[in-house]
Amino acid sequence: MSSQSYCFEAQACKPALFWTLLGAGGLVLLGTLYAFFTLEHHGHVLTGMDNQIVWGLPHVFAVFLIVAASGVLNVASIGSVFGKKMYKARAPLSGLLAIAMLAGGLAVLVLDLGRPERLIVAMTHYNFKSIFALNMIFYTGFFAIVALYLLTLMDRRLTPWSKPLGMLAFLWRLALTTATGSIFGFLVARAGYNSALYAPMFIIYSFAYGLAVFIIVQTVMYKWNEVEIDERILARLKNLLAVFVAAALYFTAVLHLTNLYYAKQWEFERFILLEGGIYPLLFWGGQVLLGGVLPLILIFSPASRHPASVFLAALLVVIGGHFQMYVTIIGGQAFPLDLFPGYAESSSFYDGVVHPYTPTIWELLLGLGGIAITFLITTVAVRVLNFMPKDDLKELEVELKPH
């Protein structure tokens, strides 16, 4: 198996398909750029976002990518920090995906800014109190560390550095996801976000989303190269995914229960879980059922020995993750701020009413741009460099022995 010849070695391998994929990704990105320049010219008036729903669909995609980016590095971490060979073989791909997704997510955030041309201002004027600015530092560091880590994995002379760098990347990533979760946890005034649980919950989510993305990309790469994945490796990955998905469900339940019992946020909970129109639907149907329960069923069903059903489970986790972000980000804003608890409020500024949100094509295009960037970086990188997981099955024999 180790001497398998892969596509990146034989450059002529399926060039038509490669260029088609590249073209498709490029086309989406073109659409994104078109949306960007249109909004830059006309302003956000064209979008569905307003002074009540200030963060919209682009943020749903962006935050998903950023959170998944930190989570996908888990695969490398298990390899380098905990010394598992099977994961080590997957470390380069995991590092690549982390960088690609972070780039995609951050790009969307930047493209959605009211004054994107002032990015340089954002980079030179730091308010260190701002968790948002702190995030920027974490992201930049994340790029650097993961890039170095990738180098140590690819260049044999640097191999001794791979363990400490892997460790650093692992710790850095935890900090990064904590910081991303805190972006919401710090919004003390908003009923939906005022919980210290946001940071740990985002870490769990990141594990699930990251691994799901990893499984999707890996499955496609194996298929592309016409390589069969070892059944035991697949079983390991899918079991890990199941653990993460179950943990994410558990944390979601804890968040809502603590909101109900401790934080006295009945009104908000009733909104998001029962009466809030689209949001309970997206929560129960999208986040819980599609993104949690169904993947678990797929993973544990007898048919799940097949890569296709694991692939489908991972795909559902990713889709459910987007629903989760939608419910968290948009649902949290749709619920009105309560300025005077104990009073009914109304005003010309839409106080006291649930805020509707209908995203437009522009927001969708911005959001899809993040996926397109991730996709393009990944596709090109796996084409020109060696990111295909290569398992030395003899060596793995010990590790994979059923316990």
Partner 1 sequence: MSDLQQRPQQEERRAFLKVGAVAAGSALAPGVLLFGAAQARAPEEPASDKVRWGMIIDVNKCADGCNDCVTACNAENGLTGATGRQDSQWIRKLNIRHLETGVQTSLPMLCQHCEHPPCVDVCPTGASMKRADGIVLVDRHTCIGCRYCMMACPYKARSFVHEPLTDQNPEVPRGKGCVESCTFCVQKLDRGENTTACVEACNAAGHKAMVFGDLNDPNSEIAQVLKTQKTTEVRADLRLNTAVRYQGI
Q: Which residues of the chain form contacts with partner 1 (CB under 8 A)?
A: 42-45, 50-52, 54-55, 109, 113-116, 118-119, 121-122, 124-134, 136-137, 141, 183, 186-190, 333, 337, 339-340, 342-351, 355
Nearest approach, Cβ of residue 175 and partner 1 (Å):
10
In the bound state with partner 1, the residue whose beta carbon lies nearer, of 24 and 187, is: 187
Which SS3 state, helix, strand or coil, does residue 230 take?
Answer: coil
DSSP tag of 44: G
Question: How far is 107 from 184, CA to CA, in rounded Å?
Answer: 20
DSSP tag of 355: P
In the bound state with partner 1, the residue whose beta carbon lies nearer, of 94 and 333, is: 333
Nearest approach, Cβ of residue 53 and partner 1 (Å):
8
Question: How far is 398 from 231, CA to CA, in rounded Å?
Answer: 15
Nearest approach, Cβ of residue 139 and partner 1 (Å):
12
What tokens does 16 get?
Answer: 């038509």
DSSP tag of 330: I
- The one-letter code for the residue type at 141 is G
Closest CA to 241 of 298, 319, 184, 158: 298
In the bound state with partner 1, the residue whose beta carbon lies nearer, of 302 and 342, is: 342
> How many of the other CB atoms lie within 10 Å of CB of 353?
12
Nearest approach, Cβ of residue 177 and partner 1 (Å):
16
Nearest approach, Cβ of residue 71 and partner 1 (Å):
23
Closest CA to 234 of 217, 215, 247, 210: 215
CB neighbour class for 342 (10 Å; exposed up to 12, middle 13-18, buried from 19): exposed
In the bound state with partner 1, the residue whose beta carbon lies nearer, of 183 and 248, is: 183
**Are residues 176 and 203 in contact, defined by beta-carbon separation less than 8 angstroms?**
no
Residue with tokens 């880590």: 149
Sign of CA dihedral 393, 394, 395, 396: positive
In the bound state with partner 1, the residue whose beta carbon lies nearer, of 144 and 385, is: 144
Nearest approach, Cβ of residue 174 and partner 1 (Å):
15
In the bound state with partner 1, the residue whose beta carbon lies nearer, of 26 and 141, is: 141
Contacts of 4 (CB under 8 A, 6+ apart): 225, 227, 390
In the bound state with partner 1, the residue whose beta carbon lies nearer, of 5 and 128, is: 128
In the bound state with partner 1, the residue whose beta carbon lies nearer, of 125 and 403, is: 125
DSSP tag of 228: P
**Are residues 352 and 346 in contact, defined by beta-carbon separation less than 8 angstroms?**
yes
What's the residue count for the chain? 403
In the bound state with partner 1, the residue whose beta carbon lies nearer, of 2 and 347, is: 347
Query: Which residue pairs, CB below 8 angstroms and at least 24 apart, start in 187-191?
Result: 189/337, 190/332, 190/333, 190/335, 190/337, 191/265, 191/267, 191/268, 191/335, 191/337, 191/338
In the bound state with partner 1, the residue whose beta carbon lies nearer, of 131 and 316, is: 131
